[in-house]
Amino acid sequence: LEPDEFRRQGHQLVDWVARYRTSLPSLHVRPKVVPGSVKAQLPRELPEQPSQALGDDLIALLNDVVVPSSLHWQHPGFFGYFPANASLLSLLGDIASGGIGAQGMLWSTSPAGTEIEQVLLDGLADALGLGREFTFAGGGGGSLQDSASSASLAALLAALQRSNPDWREHGVDGTETVYVTAETHSSLAKAVRVAGLGARALRIVPFTQGTLSMSADALADMLAKDTAAGKRPVMVCPTVGTTGTGAIDPVREVALAARTYEAWVHVDAAWAGVAALCPEFRWLLDGVNLVDSFCTDAHKWFYTAFDASFMWVRDARALPTALSITPEYLRNAATESGEVIDYRDWQVPLGRRMRALKIWSVVHGAGLEGLRESIRGHVAMANSLAGRIESESGFALATPPSLALVCLYLVDQEGRPDDAATKAAMEAVNAEGHSFLTHTSVNGHFAIRVAIGATTTLPDHIDTLWDSLCKAARQSGG
Ligand code: PLP
């Protein structure tokens, strides 16, 4: 494709994206598809000859196959999982990143990408109140990972290296232990397996009574007992905003308990962390100045198109010490000068694209104040929904609302959770098409999660959802 023709077809495609985004409210959030129905629409033979009208072909594929068979994550009625906001602001940066097409494994392969990333991550560390120790100027630093899952794995690898400097040479020895709760994201269990520790290395710390948050006292007990039994606590992972219910582990107490055993503390704040941009939510990160690494996703509540996850470490040498391997073909004068960051040493893959441009677009396009306003709007909508749930018989909050996440169930006349009615209500709402909900389990009961956070969600969309939930409750006899 020559640049002039790219310009023509690219304009058509940008027009298409703008039209798609405008049309979202009129679409059903969840498609009516069955497994295999997409495959059935695609020719099995790949073309031998180049298309003469690729842009038109692509738009036809989007209209005929992709739109009718997609779950519309950018729909204002999308309340499932956590939002994966691909704001139009971030798309501008994403197009630019693809257009430049730089591969930023080393400073020397993408000086601009590397340094824009460093400046953004330093600025965001300040904006989130992480403390100077997480900035490059303070001896730490941040990087853009592809996901929170990768950040957890990278943190675990750095923790293994710090815990045993022999690890690079000899690997794990079977004494390593990692501490999470039953509500920790499954990516931690995966990281433990990928790192070769085996599932038995994963210790599940009990909750503080009556909550779904890690008990720092129970953690301290487990650490003492495990150490006495010859185990080596390598990492503790508190979560700020668990996936199921948005529970918040007490970072400060956890970090203090871990410190005695020199275990690495990695905070997984994949969804909730960005709320700390707002001074009134800074308390979420109380104690973060005591931890070793911290992650929050840009591709959730920071309005950035997949994929991008912020990860900060207190010690800028920690990840390279664990991960750096330098074959001859990567040697270069800038690296040897010691004056640059080579981000390949901060992640598992070698190559990386210029994710910094889409973050730049979001930060500059919305401004920190714009981001704060949007977060506050989502939290206000969650509080208003929670208020309606509390005052309506037949409904109950499954857990206290956490920021913009509300977990609820339908209850019987004695106020006991009614699993069947709750599930039926969720399915009824999803079938209507204007909203999309997913679920979790709270103390063994089926609970609906309402994760508010799409860039285009307005109070009206919450009203529609609530009316629909009430209708479903009436139909179930609640
Ligand atoms: N941690 C938490 C608390 C999450 O909620 C999620 C995803 O929802 C993840 C980690 C994994 O996120 P990612 O897709 O960025 O790996």
Nearest CA to ligand 1 atom 14: 147
CA–CA separation, 453 and 368 (whole Å) = 16
* Per-residue pLDDT, 476: 79
Domain boundary among 319, 353, 387: 353
Compute the distance from residue 348 Cα to the ligand 1 centre, in Å.
Answer: 17
62, 130: one domain: no
Compute the distance from residue 81 Cα to the ligand 1 centre, in Å.
Answer: 10
H/E segment holding residue 447: strand 445-451
Least confident among 4-8, 215-219, 229-233, 239-243: 4-8
Write out the residue range of the structural domain in which residue 248 sits.
Answer: 102-353
- The pLDDT-based confidence of 295 (bands split at 50, 70, 90) is very high
Among the atoms of ligand 1, which is closest to the Cα of residue 269? 3
221, 319: one domain: yes
386, 343: one domain: no
142, 277: one domain: yes
Q: Where are the alpha helices (DSSP H) in 136-241?
A: 148-163, 167-170, 186-194, 216-228
273, 142: one domain: yes
55, 156: one domain: no
Compute the distance from residue 2 Cα to the ligand 1 centre, in Å.
Answer: 39
343, 384: one domain: no
340, 247: one domain: yes
Residue 79 lies in a domain: no
Compute the distance from residue 221 Cα to the ligand 1 centre, in Å.
Answer: 28
Q: What percent of the chain has pLDDT over 70?
A: 100
Q: What angle do CA 185, 187, 193 make, to 5 degrees?
A: 130
Q: What is the chain's mean pLDDT, rounded?
A: 97
* Per-residue pLDDT, 54: 93
ipTM more than 0.85?
yes
Nearest C-alpha neighbor of 452 from the set 269, 248, 272: 272
Considering Cα of 105, then 294, then 185, then 33, what sign does the dihedral take? negative
330, 453: one domain: no
Judged against a pLDDT cut of 60, whether residue 137 lies above it is answered with yes
Q: Is 425 in the pocket of ligand 1 (CB under 6 A)?
A: no
CATH of the domain at 196: 3.40.640.10
Tally of domains within the chain: 3
Across the beta sheet with 293-297, the strand order is: 141-145, 309-313, 293-297, 264-268, 232-236, 176-180, 202-204
Compute the distance from residue 148 Cα to the ligand 1 centre, in Å.
Answer: 5
Residue 387 lies in a domain: yes
CA–CA separation, 90 and 21 (whole Å) = 14
The number of angstroms, rounded, from the C-alpha of 241 to the middle of its chain's C-alpha atoms is 10
CATH of the domain at 51: 1.20.1340.10
Q: Is 149 in the pocket of ligand 1 (CB under 6 A)?
A: yes
Domain boundary among 30, 52, 70: 70
Give helix then strand counts, H and E, for the chain.
Answer: 15, 11
Judged against a pLDDT cut of 80, whether residue 477 lies above it is answered with no
From 297, 304, 407, the mutation candidate for ligand 1 (largest count of ligand atoms within 8 A of CB) is 297
Instruction: Residue 384: count other Cβ atoms within 10 Å of its Cβ.
Output: 15
382, 283: one domain: no
In the predicted model, what is the mean pLDDT of residues 153-176? Answer: 97
From 271, 311, 348, the mutation candidate for ligand 1 (largest count of ligand atoms within 8 A of CB) is 271
What is the pTM for the complete model shown? 0.97
Q: Do residues 267 and 291 make contact, with C-beta atoms less than 8 angstroms apart?
A: yes
151, 27: one domain: no
Residue 195 lies in a domain: yes
Read off the pLDDT of residues 179-195 as tens digits, 9 standing for 90 and up.
999 999 999 999 999 99
Residue 466 lies in a domain: yes
48, 128: one domain: no
Residue 411 lies in a domain: yes
Residue 311 lies in a domain: yes
* Per-residue pLDDT, 454: 93
Judged against a pLDDT cut of 60, whether residue 478 lies above it is answered with no
Q: Which residue reads 């707002």 in tokens?
A: 278
Q: What percent of the chain has pLDDT over 90?
A: 99
